[in-house]
Amino acid sequence: MLAYWSAAQYDAMIAAWYHKYQFNRPAPHEVDSSIEALLPHSGLPAYPSEDAVIAAVSKAVLTAMFPLEKDFLAAKAEEHKSSRLWAGMNVESDLVAGDSLGRAVAARFLARASTDGMKNAQTPKPVSDSIAQAAQDRFGWHWENLEIPQRPVGLAPLFGKVKPWCVPDITTVRPGPPPAPGSPEFQRDAEELQEVQDNLTTEQRRIANFWSDGLGTYTPPGHWNRFASDALLARNYNPLRTARTFAYMNMAIMDAGIACWDAKYYYHYPRPSQAIPGFQTILGIPNFPSYTSGHSTFSAAAATVLAHIFPEDKAQFDAWAEEAAESRIYGGIHYRFDATVGIETGHLVGNYSVVVAQADGAE
């Protein structure tokens, strides 16, 4: 959702700027001195209204994602557009043009969404079982869902086949296999997990809970959108640079999710609770395979993009990504190799988005 919404907003802003300077129409208070502008004026051409463009594209994309919120979103879009009229910043035709342009851009993104493979990501049980059997045949192990009550299918087994944004072929970032259960490498990380759980500190528990982000939260990508918001606000970035930042970061996070789920269901690796006798977590047991860590992959991809845009804050973004990865070890959700390889994959994925950003003409 965040990828489609922010990428559509960014393209909508590019389209708005193209037409602004094609028509070069001044704001109403610049034409009629009797009109009082109640908000600061940027000096930009007023037609089409960038606020109307953002309102329209957001309404369309979010309504498709959250159809039960249709009336709320429609009201907010009207409020957003009306605010520009009430403040004397735009005339009605600015808003009408912006609304039309925003809807046209949204239609292109919603057409992409309808064919990106997401509708097939949640599979029926026979398909899920065949994926597990393929892993068993290939590696000699498979993940089992330990939820109580157990759902017959894990979360989105074919999300790894959803169309990515910037990575041309998701299998090119697929990591190598994890250590076999029972191997020395496995035993090392299993013993670390048990040691952590037996001696969990207050700070480790706090970190695990901060990043746990289950249903009813804004999940790990939400944390990174908050970090990006804070960085943008601190620098007083304009709407174009803001839209661009969210677009590339969220495209990278979605690509990271696709890459991670490709690895999860290709390797179908058992969770610590399955592979370590008597092992218990403090956070429950996710209903999808272990390798690699989603938190780690999402976070490293986001950190890579944000470090490109805000290079002076690279150390902080990397530290947050490492903390997100560590949090899953503290929570007993992942082995260290899940987290380490997830971080590596996330950086690879994020670099694809950076390469696209470097070539888009904005820098």
pLDDT, residue 155, reads: 95
- In whole angstroms, give the CA distance from residue 306 to residue 138: 37
DSSP-derived secondary structure for 281-338? -SS---SS--SS-HHHHHHHHHHHHHHHHSGGGHHHHHHHHHHHHHHHHHTTS--HHH
Which pLDDT tens digits describe the chain residue by residue (363 residues)? Answer: 999 999 999 999 999 999 999 999 999 999 999 999 999 988 999 999 999 999 999 999 999 999 999 999 999 999 999 999 999 999 999 999 999 999 999 999 999 999 999 999 999 999 999 999 999 999 999 999 988 888 889 999 999 999 999 999 999 999 999 999 999 999 999 999 999 999 999 999 999 999 998 778 888 899 999 999 999 999 999 999 999 999 999 999 999 999 999 999 999 999 999 999 999 999 889 999 999 999 999 999 999 999 999 999 999 999 999 999 999 999 999 999 999 999 999 999 999 999 999 999 999
pLDDT, residue 214, reads: 75
Q: Where are the alpha helices (DSSP H) in 182-238?
A: 184-198, 202-212, 219-235
Residues near 118 by beta carbon (within 8 Å), at least 6 away in sequence: 159, 162
Give Cα 71 distance to the centre of its chain. Answer: 25
- In whole angstroms, give the CA distance from residue 269 to residue 154: 13
pLDDT, residue 215, reads: 76
Q: State the residue for tokens 């495209």.
A: 251
Phi, psi of 74, deg, nearest 5: -65, -40
Q: What is the pTM of this model?
A: 0.96
Q: Where are the alpha helices (DSSP H) in 28-91?
A: 28-31, 50-65, 70-86
- In whole angstroms, give the CA distance from residue 73 to residue 81: 12
- In whole angstroms, give the CA distance from residue 104 to residue 27: 24
**Max CA separation in the chain (angstroms):** 80
For the chain, list the domains and their CATH numbers: 2-114 (1.20.144.10), 121-358 (1.10.606.20)
- Cβ(307)–Cβ(314) under 8 Å? yes
- In whole angstroms, give the CA distance from residue 363 to residue 358: 6
Residues near 92 by beta carbon (within 8 Å), at least 6 away in sequence: 85
pLDDT, residue 13, reads: 98
- Cβ(254)–Cβ(346) under 8 Å? no
